[in-house]
């Protein structure tokens, strides 16, 4: 850790640490043996701060059509404060003490506002500022008329009806297709027609009829029973970030977090691939480094939630969360999909996959 980094001044005894990183934060003690005295130094190393990014919110302001909604954000920062200023006056701020986290802070301004606004990211030793140019970032939002609202509602109901039809069709086809496909023991798949993965409810019956067990039953009999296994759809446009939340305040010491991904383009079944792990007891973390997810995954150690940045079409699919410990076992499913286009369509195309 310290190789080729230390330099001691032979005249004064002072110590120089070259090419310092965050790993060198800590307590340093200087001892004078002859005088039986010592000094201590508390060294804190802060990373270089990125310049905040200001962009217009994807949604129009709820206040009125005269206001512009903005979002100032930074990624992979820790021990910082993100603030909005109007001139020299502080409007709002948010602070974080964790490492490698993303921050966002919203702001609403009038389109004709002539005041000076700036977004500032700072830590105890430095800061970075991004000034707001309202004329370049803010574009007038046109409100939806009553007719447009009715059209959107009708299209939404039509899409829901089609999805229900596909769901029912897949439910009827699943038993026949499952009977013709014998999967190897140990592989994990998801049936895209159903958001609930089977548990061990039928273990007693399978024990009494062990000779008639299928490969699927043998595989699932080895799994633990989870408290809940729900499917939640998350609509995210291309280029945005999505936060898949565990809805847990804090991960306990003996709990393990595991996130998996399955491609929803497969017609009936998709194989899960582990993309993130967090073992709080052993302080071990794993993030999938293949091209699809490289530098896009952020695992929040306090809650176990997963952030996927800069979404592309190949990130749409099913994400499975599993939290395991001696005290509880939780499983959740998220279906990350593109938002439904809000416009009238003469023909609604049916996608032959299950919701």
Query: What is the residue-wise DSSP string for 259-324?
Result: EEEEETTSSSEEE-EEEEEEETTTTEEEE--STTTTTTEEE-TTT--EEE-S--GGG-EEEEEEEE
pLDDT band at 140 (very low <50, low <70, confident <90, very high): low
Alpha-helical (H) ranges within 131-265 are: 134-137, 146-180, 203-208, 215-221
| Least confident segment among 51-60, 151-160, 223-232, 288-297 | 223-232
59-63, 172-176, 239-243, 320-324 — which is least confidently predicted?
59-63
**C-alpha to C-alpha distance for 342 and 112, rounded to whole angstroms:** 29
Strand order in the sheet with 101-110: 53-56, 67-77, 101-110
Portion of the chain with pLDDT greater than 90, in percent:
21
Q: Higher-confidence residue: 27 or 153?
A: 27
Q: What angle do CA 87, 92, 96 make, to 5 degrees?
A: 125
pLDDT at 3 exceeding the cut of 70? yes
DSSP 8-state symbol, 211: G
Instruction: Give the N- to C-terminal CA distance of the chain in Å, as an integer.
Output: 51
- Using alpha carbons, list the distances in angstroms from residue 106 to 3, 54, 200: 45, 9, 46
Please say if the pLDDT value at position 305 is more than 80: yes
Query: CA torsion 274→277→279→280, rounded to 10°?
Result: -160
Average pLDDT, the chain: 76
173 three-state secondary structure: helix
HSE of 351, CA atoms in CB hemisphere, 13 A: 13
Q: What is the pLDDT of residue 199?
A: 38
Mind listing the pLDDT tens digit for each residue in 113-127? 889 999 999 988 899
CA atoms 9, 10, 15, 18: torsion sign: positive
User: What average pLDDT does range 153-181 have in this prediction?
Assistant: 75
Q: What is the dihedral of CA 246, 250, 254, 255, to 10 degrees?
A: 0
For residue 74, CA distances in Å to 51, 52, 81, 190, 266 come to: 8, 5, 11, 35, 35
- Residue 351 burial by Cβ neighbours in a 10 Å radius (0-12, 13-18, 19+): exposed
How far is CA 134 from each of CA 56, 67, 107, 329, rounded to the nearest angstrom? 10, 11, 12, 49
For residue 37, the cross-strand partners are: 32
- Flag whether pLDDT at 203 surpasses 70: no
Phi, psi of 319 (to 5 degrees): -115, 130
Tell me the backbone φ, ψ of residue 184, rounded to 5 degrees. -65, 145
């Amino acid at each position: 850790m310290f190789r080729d980094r230390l330099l001691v001044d032979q005249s004064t005894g002072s110590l120089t640490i070259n090419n310092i990183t965050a790993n060198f934060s800590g307590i340093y003690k200087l001892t004078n043996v002859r005088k039986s005295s010592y000094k201590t130094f508390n060294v804190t190393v802060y990373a270089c701060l990125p310049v905040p990014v200001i962009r217009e919110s994807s949604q129009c302001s709820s206040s009125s059509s005269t206001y512009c909604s903005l979002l100032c954000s930074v990624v992979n920062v820790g021990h910082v404060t993100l603030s909005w200023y109007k001139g020299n006056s502080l409007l709002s701020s948010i602070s974080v003490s964790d490492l490698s986290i993303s921050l966002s802070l919203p702001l609403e301004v009038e389109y004709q506002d002539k005041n000076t606004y700036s977004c500032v990211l700072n830590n105890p030793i430095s800061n970075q500022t991004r000034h707001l140019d309202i004329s370049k970032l803010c574009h007038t939002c046109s409100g939806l008329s009553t007719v447009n609202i009715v059209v959107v509602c009708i299209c939404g109901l039509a899409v829901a009806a089609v999805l229900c039809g596909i769901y029912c069709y897949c439910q009827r086809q699943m038993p026949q297709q499952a009977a013709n496909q014998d999967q190897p023991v140990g592989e994990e798949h998801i049936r895209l027609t159903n958001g609930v993965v089977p548990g061990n409810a039928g273990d007693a019956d399978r024990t009494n009829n062990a000779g008639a067990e299928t490969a699927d039953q043998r595989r699932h009999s080895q799994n633990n029973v989870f408290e809940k296994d729900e499917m939640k759809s998350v609509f995210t446009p291309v280029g945005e970030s999505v936060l898949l939340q565990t809805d847990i305040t804090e991960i306990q010491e003996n709990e393990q977090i595991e996130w998996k991904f399955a491609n929803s383009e497969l017609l009936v079944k998709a194989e899960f691939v582990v993309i993130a792990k967090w073992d709080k007891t052993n302080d071990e973390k794993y993030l999938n480094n293949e091209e699809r997810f490289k530098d896009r995954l952020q695992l929040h150690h306090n809650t176990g939630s997963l952030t996927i940045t800069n979404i592309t079409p190949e990130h749409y699919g099913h994400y499975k969360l599993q939290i395991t410990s001696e005290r509880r076992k939780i499983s959740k499913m998220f279906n990350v999909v593109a938002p439904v286009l809000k416009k009238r369509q003469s023909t609604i195309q049916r996608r032959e996959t299950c919701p």
